[in-house]
Chain A
Amino acid sequence: MGHNLKAIYRNMLKNKLYTFFNVAGMAVAFACSILLFLSVYQDFSFDKFHVNGDKIYKVYSFSNAANGPELSEVMAYPAGPALKADNIGITKFTRVRYGGGKIRYKAKELELTTVLVDPDFLRMFSFRILQGNRVNPLADLGKVVLSANDAASLFGSEDPVGKTVETEISGTWKSLEVSAVIENPPVNSSIQFGALARTETHGHYPAIKDEWNNQHHPVYVQLAENTTQESTENRLRSFVKTHMPPNIGLMKARGYRADAKGDFSGLKLLPLADVHFNPEIGTGDRVNRSFLYILVLTGVVVLVIACFNFINLSIGLSFTRTREMGVRKCLGAGKANIWTLVWGEGFVTTLVAMVIGVAAAVLLIPSFNQLFVAKLETSLLYDPVIGLLLPGILLFVSLFAGSYPALAMTKLKVVEVLKGKIALKTNGLFRNTLVAFQFIIACVLISTTMVIYRQFRHLRSAPLGYTTTSMISIPVYDQSKGKELIRTMRLQLASQPAIVSVSGSSFNLGIGKDRNTGKWSSNFGYKGKVVRTNWMEADYDFLKTLTIKQVEGRDFSSAYASDSVNAVIVTESMAKQLTDGHAVGMEFFADSAQAKLHIVGVIPDFHLYSMFEDKEPISIMLKHEESMAYILVKVNTTNPAATMELVKKTYAKLEPGKEFKGSFVTENIERWYAKEKRLSRLFSIAAGVAIVLSCMGLFGISLIVVRQRLKEIGVRKVLGASVSRIAAMISKDFLKPVLLAIVISVPLSWLILNKWLQDFSYRITIGWWMFVYMGMAALLIALATVSFQAIKAALANPVKSLKTE
């Protein structure tokens, strides 16, 4: 063992450059893959720490709209208690609602998130109580539970339990007594909070506690021990009929359909384990599972490239060690001894690379978090699973990369080696296959990066049909007073030169900071045919705010009293469904229960939803009820940050104490494509790493091959070959596998990327020139890598090389 380690150490030292290439390549690969694996591991560990996790579900509602089910996680106040009381297999429930953002103790004020819950919350979820009432800390409405960090920030060394704090809940300060301190919610918890108080402390609670139509918070439930998700979901059907019967007539009119069970809408359960992964009804920063699989695959691919480098370099360099192995065999070394020695060197290389890789990964965690909007923590490295995973990867990589060179060495024929007849059979085909494989991966990644980036840019910059720049959208908390808020804001901002107009809409443009999206579409009969349209409700100045020019007619206007009753603006494709002539002035019934709608304007078709969907007919109604979900503000300024601040201040006066979630619509639209953006970043980095690793491998191999061919180069020079001819001869050999890789990767990339692009209705076409760029990039990179060694060898003095040989 000691003897082997000494031999390994000295051999690595002797071949410093080779060792550097191997260690550096492996370390880069380890750093990348460790970051990717940690990130994936963290995502898969979400909410797993709850002891009752497998019995906890999030309740969500579904409505079977014409174009697919609409899902919503928000419930009304009475839903939670009724779910438990109705004896449908639910033993515990908690409503989870944002309460406020501030807390005070004496002169100290702290910003934190207060979440309003029910007493079962701490019995369902495994957030450990560190001090105070461990049995039922939220037994009465006057109590608050603080997380350890916030308790320490607020109280310092003072004991917080029993102290009274001022907590801002729904805009008003309430005195609550700290009943317990609990551990901070870990990063891998979907539910995050700084303080917990009772749901009933919300200012609006008394007024709407029995209203089933006012929905604003998710509800989590815990099922009884002997109950399954399926049986509870079956019982939820009767629960819905009892408490929240759908207006089937209205739903039918709006194009909703019954599912296989005959339900137009209802309630279902989302397992807690899926909450982190469900993009529509999940909680917190959700992530798509398929994205995580792509991350794992990328990590593995990077490791495989590094392993191929190792194998190629080891085999290439082994010709210098065949005599040593021959002597060792001659002196009694068995196959196992030789295998252990050669593999041991691979193991030590891998171990050193892993130590460097882990250190690099730790240093890169902040950049990684920033780049991929992740929340990785160094402490994750101490997790027992990761503690096992790292040695596992070490062993796997050292076996994968080190076994082949070790096996090749054990097969050496002593007699021939000692005669100096053979180096290890450096099979060019094997070496070139590995190089070609590396470059196939690199080429596919280069073209993937190009296509994803261009598609992302294409989506982001695609003309939606309205001006997205300089527009702010603000989610309204108290939607029932939405129109009043819009009116007040319009009035207060009227004198501001930076503000162009203020309007409102029933759902957001893009994905705002509240992350809510909405869609409403319906089919209705008109003159014997079925008309299909998407709906949106808006406020005055809607077209002005979105900078949409009408083709015909006008914008909504308070100057026309009738507008507030039945005005509708339709897009051209909607108008075409109604008439071939002028649509303005036409009237139609979209819903027999509602007033006849009067078309006041026709506008060009535009994208109301993301570019994943086609342009569809749209009808925009002027909302005649007082509720409205979003305020839209069009600004005209060179200083958007200052204007946003102005809008924020104005909003703060309208909904005091509420978190301002206003954002520019351009940001909202980017959020539609957040997944593509992350993918684009990921693949550009992966492509970069793959290229760097492949080039390191190619450089190392060229170094070895040139050393092996020094005599041949010397002889050729003596016989009159020019420097350029020799350099070309050596480079040509290396470019062959790269060329082969390009040829293979073109159809491969096209197949993969074409399939990926099929998910987009608005997509780029893959041009042949992309593959030309890809091929040229790969060739140039490879040529630059090997030509250095080739030219150096061609310039060397032949006398010296022949003498050396």
Chain B
Amino acid sequence: MINITNLQKFYRTEEVETIALNNLSFGIKEGEFVAIMGPSGCGKSTLLNILGLLDDPDDGSYLFNGIEVAKFNERKRSDLRKHNIGFVFQSFNLIDELTVFENVELPLIYTKVGAAERKRRVEEVLDKMQIMHRRNHFPQQLSGGQQQRVAVARAVVNNPKLILADEPTGNLDSSNGNDVMQLLTDLNEQGTTIIMVTHSEHDARYTHRIIRMLDGQAVTENILV
């Protein structure tokens, strides 16, 4: 599903050039659940942003479902992203002014799904995430675990092929963290490819494979399954 070859990303200031990704290459098959681990500043988040088409690489190739997307412009990236990729963030990134229902509904609005269909799909996913009873609440009225479940619901409502999770349990206690990891595992079992950046060895054990990074390069790969 994903094939990256010699991916490079630099951050430049006037005086310093920092290499975030250094000739990184790996592949991810459809249906895989992969953890990316490594110390802070090793390039995990940069990699996730490039994989999520939020950022573009300076060099190298990125094949998504066989299509070269590394040189896509903003509009094409946005188009590909909204139909294929869901995001789960450490800090949930729910919009405070929107209710649970409206937050989850947002990706469907941007993909121009009709109102009736949106309602059906949002209710279905909220039900699945067991958060239906909170549908009219605002994010600040929910616990951290509930907020992350809403964020996961929002990430999957469009039935994306790929979910990118950036430390999804980082802001949660262990119980809520486990619940979220179970949710992601369930989604993966239903066929969604998941790439998760994490510092937690515990969370990484839910995945099939761990790619460990250091200084912008993949140093080891652990196959868990």
Q: Measuring CB to CB, which residues of chain A are less than 8 angstroms from any residue of chain B?
A: 3, 6-7, 10-11, 14, 323-324, 326-335, 337, 414-415, 418-419
Cα of A418 to Cα of B54 in the assembled complex, Å: 10
Smallest distance from the beta carbon of A2 to chain B beta carbons, Å? 9
Task: Decide: B97 and A14 in contact? CB cutoff 8 A.
Answer: yes
Task: Decide: A327 and B82 in contact? CB cutoff 8 A.
Answer: no
Task: Decide: A329 and B78 in contact? CB cutoff 8 A.
Answer: yes
Counting CB contacts under 8 A, is B107 at the interface?
yes
A326 neighbours in B (Cβ, 8 Å): 93
Task: Decide: B110 and A337 in contact? CB cutoff 8 A.
Answer: yes
Task: Decide: B81 and A332 in contact? CB cutoff 8 A.
Answer: yes
For B109, give its contact among A3, A330, A335, A415 (CB under 8 Å): A3
**Which B residues between 113 and 137 are near A, CB-CB below 8 angstroms?**
none
Smallest distance from the beta carbon of B81 to chain A beta carbons, Å? 6
A329 neighbours in B (Cβ, 8 Å): 78
For B54, give its contact among A7, A324, A415 (CB under 8 Å): A415
Task: Decide: B75 and A324 in contact? CB cutoff 8 A.
Answer: no
Smallest distance from the beta carbon of A7 to chain B beta carbons, Å? 6
Write the chain A residue with the least CB distance to B74.
Answer: A335
For B87, give its contact among A6, A324, A330, A337 (CB under 8 Å): A330
Task: Decide: B154 and A415 in contact? CB cutoff 8 A.
Answer: no
Of A3, A331, A418, chain B has the most CB atoms within 10 Å of the CB of A331
Smallest distance from the beta carbon of B154 to chain A beta carbons, Å? 7
Given known pairs A330-B87, A332-B81, A334-B75, the reply for A415 and B95 (CB within 8 Å) is no
Cα of A415 to Cα of B51 in the assembled complex, Å: 12
Smallest distance from the beta carbon of B46 to chain A beta carbons, Å? 8
Smallest distance from the beta carbon of B164 to chain A beta carbons, Å? 10
Smallest distance from the beta carbon of A311 to chain B beta carbons, Å? 22
B83 neighbours in A (Cβ, 8 Å): 332
B94 neighbours in A (Cβ, 8 Å): 327
Of A14, A326, A414, chain B has the most CB atoms within 10 Å of the CB of A414
Residue contacts A-B, CB under 8 angstroms, 17 given: A14-B96, A14-B97, A324-B96, A324-B97, A326-B93, A327-B94, A328-B95, A328-B106, A330-B87, A330-B93, A331-B106, A331-B154, A332-B81, A332-B110, A332-B111, A334-B75, A335-B74
Name A's interface SS.
helix
Write the chain B residue with the least CB distance to A3.
Answer: B109
Task: Decide: B54 and A331 in contact? CB cutoff 8 A.
Answer: no
Counting CB contacts under 8 A, is B33 at the interface?
no
B82 neighbours in A (Cβ, 8 Å): 331-332
B54 neighbours in A (Cβ, 8 Å): 330, 414-415, 418
Cα of A278 to Cα of B78 in the assembled complex, Å: 64
Smallest distance from the beta carbon of A707 to chain B beta carbons, Å? 16
Cα of A630 to Cα of B16 in the assembled complex, Å: 91
Smallest distance from the beta carbon of B168 to chain A beta carbons, Å? 14
Task: Decide: A327 and B95 in contact? CB cutoff 8 A.
Answer: yes
Write the chain B residue with the least CB distance to A330.
Answer: B87
Cα of A3 to Cα of B95 in the assembled complex, Å: 13
Write the chain B residue with the least CB distance to A325.
Answer: B95
Q: Mark B43-85, 1 if CB is under 8 A from A, else 0.
A: 0010001001011000000000000000000110010011100
Q: Please tell me the size bucket of the interface on B.
A: 20 to 34
B111 neighbours in A (Cβ, 8 Å): 332
Cα of A418 to Cα of B164 in the assembled complex, Å: 14
Smallest distance from the beta carbon of A10 to chain B beta carbons, Å? 4
4 nearest interchain CB pairs? A332-B82, A332-B110, A10-B97, A331-B107
Task: Decide: A418 and B89 in contact? CB cutoff 8 A.
Answer: yes
A332 neighbours in B (Cβ, 8 Å): 78, 81-83, 107, 110-111
Cα of A419 to Cα of B197 in the assembled complex, Å: 14
Cα of A14 to Cα of B98 in the assembled complex, Å: 12
Counting CB contacts under 8 A, is B167 at the interface?
no
Counting CB contacts under 8 A, is B102 at the interface?
yes
Smallest distance from the beta carbon of A546 to chain B beta carbons, Å? 75
B109 neighbours in A (Cβ, 8 Å): 3
Cα of A328 to Cα of B93 in the assembled complex, Å: 10
A3 neighbours in B (Cβ, 8 Å): 102, 105-106, 109
Task: Decide: A415 and B49 in contact? CB cutoff 8 A.
Answer: yes
B95 neighbours in A (Cβ, 8 Å): 7, 324, 327-328
Cα of A414 to Cα of B74 in the assembled complex, Å: 11
Cα of A330 to Cα of B166 in the assembled complex, Å: 13
Write the chain B residue with the least CB distance to A327.
Answer: B93
B102 neighbours in A (Cβ, 8 Å): 3, 6
Cα of A261 to Cα of B19 in the assembled complex, Å: 88
Smallest distance from the beta carbon of A74 to chain B beta carbons, Å? 71
A6 neighbours in B (Cβ, 8 Å): 98, 102
Q: Mark B14-46, 1 if CB is under 8 A from A, else 0.
A: 000000000000000000000000000000010
For B110, give its contact among A10, A331, A335, A419 (CB under 8 Å): A331
A415 neighbours in B (Cβ, 8 Å): 49, 54-55
B96 neighbours in A (Cβ, 8 Å): 14, 324
Smallest distance from the beta carbon of B222 to chain A beta carbons, Å? 28
Smallest distance from the beta carbon of A478 to chain B beta carbons, Å? 79
Smallest distance from the beta carbon of B216 to chain A beta carbons, Å? 16
Write the chain A residue with the least CB distance to B106.
Answer: A331
Write the chain A residue with the least CB distance to B157.
Answer: A331
Given known pairs A332-B82, A332-B110, A414-B54, the reply for A11 and B97 (CB within 8 Å) is yes
Task: Decide: A333 and B110 in contact? CB cutoff 8 A.
Answer: yes
In the complex, besides A328-B106, A328-B110, A332-B83, 17 extra interface pairs with C-beta distance below 8 angstroms are A3-B105, A3-B106, A323-B93, A324-B97, A327-B94, A329-B78, A330-B54, A331-B154, A332-B107, A332-B110, A334-B78, A335-B74, A414-B54, A418-B54, A418-B89, A418-B93, A419-B45
Write the chain A residue with the least CB distance to B80.
Answer: A332
Write the chain B residue with the least CB distance to A326.
Answer: B93
Smallest distance from the beta carbon of B173 to chain A beta carbons, Å? 21
Cα of A10 to Cα of B97 in the assembled complex, Å: 6
Write the chain B residue with the least CB distance to A334.
Answer: B78
Smallest distance from the beta carbon of B78 to chain A beta carbons, Å? 6
B45 neighbours in A (Cβ, 8 Å): 419
Cα of A563 to Cα of B98 in the assembled complex, Å: 96
Cα of A328 to Cα of B105 in the assembled complex, Å: 12
A418 neighbours in B (Cβ, 8 Å): 54, 89, 93
